[in-house]
């Protein structure tokens, strides 16, 4: 089984255990054992739907006998009043899954919606938006999946799949050239085939990075628009370019117009507004 699926199932079980404790006493005392029913996932907001595939996994783990009728898939535009799916089966099981399904889907949909807004703003510029590691601990896989659903691009997943030499690494290593040389030597010694990206804070550091070579991408951090355009002109055709630092919905287009290949935005995952939705019982009488 894929390692991300294994991690997802582990997370779901931990989250359910956190919620359930020694039993759902409210459901147990108000609803007869074995009672069957149906509920709908009701959208109460406008945005991009994300997390339907995760809801399926949650229901499966809670109770394999639960069944879903899916009307809207991940990535679709939704609006107030839409119904994404029905879930049928044990009412006790539906109520156990309810809060986890909503927490995950609301957050994922919020991330996908924010990402999609950026993607729309960047249309025609040639610049793509990246996420970051500024994610909720334990939820990185889900939050980065939501970015992809919204049309964004995933940056490195963790510390293991890219060498990203940032300002602290440079300062501890003794400078740009030393940091890059150490990275290249390390990858060769360890026989690792992962990309190297170097963060630069000014044009002087950029010149050092260009002269050192051996990297795949240059991250231009907190550059003014004027300096960013100058930097892109120096780099053009030699390295992939990425801009970061204080990029928001209000200024992302201006960054893109400077000609960078990517903009990275921590705001995609660390400060989004969740999409409003609820799981409502469907009355059958």
Catalytic residues: 99, 134, 166, 199, 221
C-alpha 68/C-alpha 55 separation (Å) is 10
CB 218 within 8 A of CB 198: yes
CB 176 within 8 A of CB 197: no
Measured between alpha carbons, how far is residue 222 from residues 76, 96, 212, 238 in Å?
A: 34, 46, 22, 21
SS (H, E, C) 34-70: CCEEEEEEEECCCEECCCHHHHHHHHHHHCCCCEEEE
Q: Under the phi-then-psi rule, with left for phi > 0, alpha for psi from -120 to 50, and beta for the rest, what region is 260?
A: beta
Three-state DSSP at 214 gives coil
Beta-carbon-side half-sphere exposure of residue 70 (alpha carbons within 13 Å)? 14
DSSP label of 239? S
CB 209 within 8 A of CB 229: no
CB 37 within 8 A of CB 281: yes
């Amino acid at each position: 089984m894929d390692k991300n699926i294994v991690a997802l199932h582990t997370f779901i079980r931990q989250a359910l255990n956190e919620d359930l404790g020694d039993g759902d006493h409210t459901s147990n005392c108000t609803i007869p054992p074995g009672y069957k029913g149906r509920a709908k996932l009701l959208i109460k907001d406008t945005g991009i739907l994300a997390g339907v595939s995760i809801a399926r996994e949650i229901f499966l783990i809670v109770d394999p006998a639960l069944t879903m009728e899916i009307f809207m898939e991940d990535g679709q535009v939704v609006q107030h009043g839409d119904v994404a799916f029905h879930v049928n089966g044990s009412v006790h099981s539906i109520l156990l899954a309810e809060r986890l399904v909503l927490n995950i889907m609301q957050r994922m949909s919020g991330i996908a919606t924010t990402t999609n807004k950026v993607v729309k703003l960047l249309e025609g510029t040639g610049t793509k938006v990246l996420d970051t590691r500024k994610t909720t601990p334990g939820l990185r896989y889900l939050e980065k999946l939501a970015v992809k659903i919204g049309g964004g691009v995933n940056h490195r997943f963790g510390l293991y799949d890219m060498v990203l030499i940032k300002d602290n690494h440079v300062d501890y290593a003794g400078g740009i050239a030393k940091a890059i040389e150490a990275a290249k030597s390390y990858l060769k010694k360890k026989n690792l085939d992962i990309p190297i990206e170097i963060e630069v804070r000014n044009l002087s550091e950029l010149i050092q990075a260009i002269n050192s070579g051996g990297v795949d991408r240059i991250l231009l951090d907190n550059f003014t628009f004027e300096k960013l355009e100058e930097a892109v002109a120096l780099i053009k055709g030699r390295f992939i370019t990425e801009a970061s630092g204080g990029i928001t919905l209000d200024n992302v287009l201006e960054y893109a117009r400077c000609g960078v290949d990517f903009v990275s935005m921590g705001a995609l995952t660390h400060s989004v507004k969740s999409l409003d939705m609820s799981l409502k019982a469907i009355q059958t009488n």
